[in-house]
Chain A
Amino acid sequence: MPRLTVDDLKRIKEQHKAAFTVREGGARVKITVHMGTCGIAAGARRIMETLLGEINKQGLSDIIVTTSGCAGLCSKEPMATVDVTNESPVKYGQLDEAKILRILNEHVIGGKVVEEYVLVSGNETTI
């Protein structure tokens, strides 16, 4: 292993930033892929793999990808929720690999909601 310089310290820190974003929860965007039985059957795992692959490829470090159970709208699976900090969460439905990549690039990175895939914006009311 080479001897470190101060720049190396910074480089190592950058490399690991993504991992710690996940652990500390300090992400700018949280993408939830709904993985109920319905979601998995409809191909949610492929959506998840595509998403993680692209995020790693682009080296994005401020995004958390996580899973949750069935969102209740089984006919619209696979679904994903994009939750940008301080914005109301947006649910997308009937996704495929191309759609999730577009959502990642336009909504998550670009900040512009991909209207044509949107199912609903906001959360259900819970008592």
Chain B
Amino acid sequence: MENYRANIMLCGGTGCTAGGSLKIREAMQQGIRDKGLEGEINIQLTTCSGFCPQGPIMIVYPDNVLYQKVSLKDVPLIIEEHLIKGRPVERLLYKEPAKKQGIPSIKDIPFFNRQVLRALRNKGLIDPDSIDEYIARDGYQAAAKALLEMTPEEIIKVVKDSGLRGRGGAGMLTGLKWERAASVKAPEKFIICNRSIIEVEPHLIIEGMIIGARAIGASQGYIYVRTGAPIIIERLNRALQQAREYGLIGENILDSGFDFELELFASSDEFVCGEETALLMSIQSMRGMPMPRPPFPVEKGLWDMPTVINTVETFANIPQIILNGAEWFRSVGTEKSPGTKIFNLSGALNNTGLIEVPMGITLRSIINDIGGGLIKGRTFKAVQVGGSTGGYIPEQYLDMPVTYEDVTHMDAIIGSGGIAVLSDLNCMVSSARFTIEFAVDESCGKCPPCRIGTSVILDLLNKVVNGTATEEDIYLMEDLALDIKNTSLCGLGQTAMNPVLSTIRFFKDEYLEHINEKWCKAGVCKELCTFYIDKEKCIGCGACARVCPKKAISGEKKKPHHIDQSLCIQCRSCYETCKFNALKIGPRSMREELTDNEAAAYIKGAIKEVVQQ
């Protein structure tokens, strides 16, 4: 490979591609050619850099300069200023929310420098479509070591000693799972990678699976992907073909005598198929529904053969454990939850995206350091940990370390690795309702607790949101939710109640406000709030009137404005627009009061007019 003076890495993740990174690459290539710099500057796409909301992301090496929100019209400037004259384009640098000064070096941006990259160590650094670049970063070295220098028992031992726990939901020791599958005698065994949804480089998954297959003695593997992720499917297919051409899958891999076939299995976007037994049904061309366990898949899985199912992230950790050893893996994280964890950070934060952090980091550090704190004007209310079926954790527990054990105590889960931050603009009851609605839609219908229970809970939550619930309904919900949690067949029903249980536990006052005062203080539940303008604070700028879709706000310039309650649809646009804190949210009862007062004022005015005449 040529030695270039600059390598430009353009993020080719799903988000940045949607933002136009392919067109930007074309324009850059053209611009570089026009200036006669082809031999000096290399431009290529990389795996997702994780900084998706700021995309398209462009990183220029060796300067380590990160450009955000790059558009086609910025291309000539980047070439002229940075690539020719060596001056970073200040306007495109990442800026910390509170500061105006751009941060030129990627190493100084807190979002990046607080992360510990292991599974994502090549993110933004290599071309996901190039097997050679993967090999250049120690790729397939671990597979070579595992196949040529280690016995299956030795592989299992090092994975077990590392303490790596399944990065999916339950957090079972990966080594233990492999050991059980390896101990069963069977004519054929399978290894499956569950849901390639994380945009890690495809070869990392393939390598992890080869090692796993060798450990348990599997001859066939499947990578289970959702059809809703076309870029990932395309990349995986290309990677599989490259690996096959290099003889890294197929017969006699690396002359070791070990044979392993690996295929992609694309399924529809059924949430329940994240559950391992439902996933197995789906691969066997049956409806994706979970089965009671035992027998566990490690004993009787795909086509009744021993089958190991691990997630993408679990496999992505394997190659480095093999190369660096169990002790190295344990050097980060906690005693019982060693290593790192990938999270999808979202919500009311300044920085969101895909992050990898050491286990045991506190939620506060994730939110404030990596997330850059809450966006201006918002205050923290809760953080949902574990994706759509994770529990909501309030402020007082933010110093809790993120480990499998601690998170479970909070009715939350590590799960799919979602962390969503909720602000004062979110209503806890309707947030819980939203996730339950999702569970109702996604419940496969096999077991009654989940099928019927989730619907009943949804009805009860609807009552709270509509203002027709009583305090007793809270206790009914809590009881029922616990029953559903304890008796559901699979993880879907067992975890679906986390949002309800955790909101009742930590935000009961909000439920009570909804029920007793008919007041949703966040202004989300339309039935339970009244928007009004504080006459003392309103300066009459008219910003709220301009955004009101119903033209319900009126008033003279520089005089306090007024909302016509008969027209207001509680869309909250005015509340989010006002910069002077003049918009207020009152309980439902205020609506009638205000309307009455308005009527009185109107009558008063009319009488006055008549008298004057």
Bound pair: A and B?
yes
Interface residue ranges, A against B (CB under 8 Å): 1-6, 9, 12-13, 15-20, 22-25, 27, 30, 35-37, 40, 48-49, 52, 55-56, 60-61, 63-69
For residue B57, give the distance in angstroms from its CB to the closest CB of chain A: 15
Given contacts A22-B7, A25-B62, A49-B39, A4 and B136 within 8 Å (CB-CB):
no
Q: Contact partner of A65 among B5, B139, B247, CB < 8 A? A: B5
Q: B: which residues have CB within 8 A of A?
A: 1-7, 9, 39-40, 42, 61-64, 83-87, 125, 132-133, 135-141, 144, 148, 245-248, 254-255
Q: How close is B564's CB to chain A, nearest CB, in angstroms?
A: 60
Q: Which 10 A-B pairs have the closest CB atoms?
A: A16-B136, A3-B247, A67-B86, A68-B86, A1-B245, A23-B61, A65-B5, A18-B3, A12-B135, A4-B246
A56→B62 CA distance, assembly (Å): 17
CB pair B255–A16 under 8 Å, yes or no, is: no
Indicate if the CB atoms of B87 and A22 lie closer than 8 Å. no
- Kindly name the residue among A22, A55, A60 whose own CB sees the greatest number of chain B CB atoms within 10 A: A22
Q: Which residue of B lies closest to A61 (CB)?
A: B3
Interface-centre pick from B39, B42, B136 (highest chain A CB count, 10 A):
B136
**CB pair A22 B136 closer than 8 Å:** no
Q: What A residues does B39 contact at CB under 8 A?
A: 49, 52
| Nearest CB of A to B324, in Å | 16
Closest CB-CB distance, A96 to chain B, in whole Å? 19
Nearest CB of chain B from residue A95's CB, rounded to whole Å: 16
B42 contacts which chain A residues (CB < 8 A)? 19
The smallest C-beta distance from A17 to any residue of chain B, in angstroms, reads 7
| Known A-B contacts A20-B137, A35-B85; A67 and B5 likewise in contact (beta carbons under 8 Å) | yes
Closest to A40 in B: B84
16 more A-B residue pairs beyond the given contacts A2-B247, A22-B62, A52-B5, with a C-beta to C-beta distance below 8 A? A5-B255, A6-B148, A18-B1, A19-B3, A19-B4, A19-B7, A19-B136, A22-B3, A22-B5, A24-B61, A52-B3, A52-B39, A66-B6, A66-B86, A67-B83, A69-B85
Assembly CA distance A68 to B6 (angstroms):
12
- Determine if A15 and B246 form an interchain contact, defined as CB atoms under 8 angstroms apart: no
What chain B residues lie within 8 Å of A23 (beta carbons)? Answer: 7, 9, 61-62, 125
Which residues of A have CB within 8 Å of B148? 6
Complex CA–CA separation, A15 to B130 (angstroms): 14
Q: Across the interface, do A15 and B40 meet the contact criterion of CB distance under 8 Å?
A: no
Contact flag A64-B136 (CB < 8 Å), given A19-B1, A23-B125, A55-B3 = no
The chain B residue with its CB closest to the CB of A19 is: B1
State how many angstroms separate the Cβ of B154 from the closest Cβ of chain A.
18
| Residues of the A chain whose Cβ atoms lie less than 8 Å from the Cβ of B255 | 5
A to B CB contacts below 8 Å, 23 in the list: A3-B247, A6-B144, A9-B135, A12-B132, A12-B135, A13-B138, A15-B1, A15-B136, A16-B135, A19-B4, A23-B61, A24-B125, A25-B62, A30-B62, A35-B84, A52-B4, A52-B40, A61-B3, A65-B5, A66-B5, A66-B62, A66-B63, A69-B87
A1 to chain B, nearest CB (A): 4
| CA–CA, A20 and B3, complex, Å | 9
CA–CA, A34 to B4, complex, Å? 16
B3 contacts A60, CB within 8 Å? yes
**Residues of B with C-beta under 8 A to A65:** 3, 5
Residue in A13, A22, A30 whose beta carbon sits within 8 Å of that of B61 in the complex: A22
Q: Which residues of A contact B138 (CB under 8 A)?
A: 13
Q: Is the CB of B84 within 8 A of A22?
A: no
On whether A69 and B86 interact (CB within 8 A), knowing A1-B245, A4-B246, A49-B39, the answer reads yes
What is the bound-complex CA distance between A14 and B296, given in angstroms? 44
Chain A nearest Cβ from B146, distance in angstroms: 12
Chain B residue contacts of A20, Cβ below 8 A: 125, 136-137
- Measured between beta carbons, the chain A residues less than 8 angstroms from B254 are 4-6
Q: Which residues of A contact B139 (CB under 8 A)?
A: 9
Q: Smallest Cβ distance from A114 to chain B, in angstroms?
A: 21
Set of chain B residues within 8 Å of A12, measured between Cβ atoms: 132, 135-136
A26 to B, closest residue via Cβ = B62
Residue of B nearest to A1 (CB): B245
Q: How far is the CA of A36 from the CA of B87 in the complex (A)?
A: 10
A48 to B84, CA, bound (A): 11
By beta carbon, the residue of chain A nearest B135 is: A12
CA distance A9 to B567 in the complex (A): 70
B247 with A4: CB separation less than 8 A: yes
B3 and A56 contact, CB distance less than 8 A:
yes
Q: Contact between A36 and B62 (Cβ–Cβ < 8 Å)?
A: no
Is the beta-carbon distance between B133 and A16 smaller than 8 angstroms?
yes
Q: How far is the CB of B147 from chain A (nearest CB, A)?
A: 9
Chain B residues near A40 (CB-CB < 8 A): 84
Taken together as a complex, chains A and B put the C-alpha atoms of A105 and B246 apart, in Å, by 38
- How many whole Å from A33's CB to the nearest CB in chain B? 8
Which A residues are in CB contact (< 8 Å) with B136? 12-13, 15-17, 19-20
Whether the Cβ atoms of A36 and B85 lie closer than 8 Å is: yes
